Structure 1
Amino acid sequence: MLFKIILVFLGLMALIALIGRALFPSALPRVLRKNSKAPVCAKCGRYLIGRKICDCGGKAK
C-alpha cells in the first residue's frame, strides 16, 4: 500500500512538472531552453556568454 502511494505521488509530481514546463517555458534556465539561436544583447547586439546582462547595460533578448 505504501509503495502505491509513493508511486502515485511521484507520478503526480512528474505531471505537475510537465504542465509547468509547457505553460511557463521562460521560467527555465537559459541552458535548458530549446532556442536555436544564441542569446544576444538587445541594445548592442553582442553575443552573451555566461551572463544575463551585457557590459553595455542592455538585457538579453
Structure 2
Amino acid sequence: MSHTSYTVLTRDQIAERAAQDIPDGAYVNLGIGLPTKIAQYLSNDKDVFLHSENGLLA
C-alpha cells in the first residue's frame, strides 16, 4: 500500500490560491463563507467584478 502525503492548508492559503486562478475581466460569484476571503487576495492589476450571493455586483 502506498502512502500519500498531503499538506493541510489554512483557509487563508486556500483563498489566496483560488484568487490566483481568477482571470482579468472575470465576473465572480463569491457565495458565502470561505469564498468571501478571496477578494482580499485579488491582484490590484486585475479588473475583476465580484458578485455576492444576494445578487449585487460590487
Q: Report the TM-score, using the length of structure 2 for normalisation.
A: 0.22
Q: Per residue, is there more helix in 1 or in 2?
A: 1
Q: Report the TM-score, using the length of structure 1 for normalisation.
A: 0.21
Task: Name the larger-Rg structure.
Answer: 1
Q: Which has the higher contact order (CA 8 A, sep 6+)?
A: 2
Q: Per residue, is there more strand in 1 or in 2?
A: 2
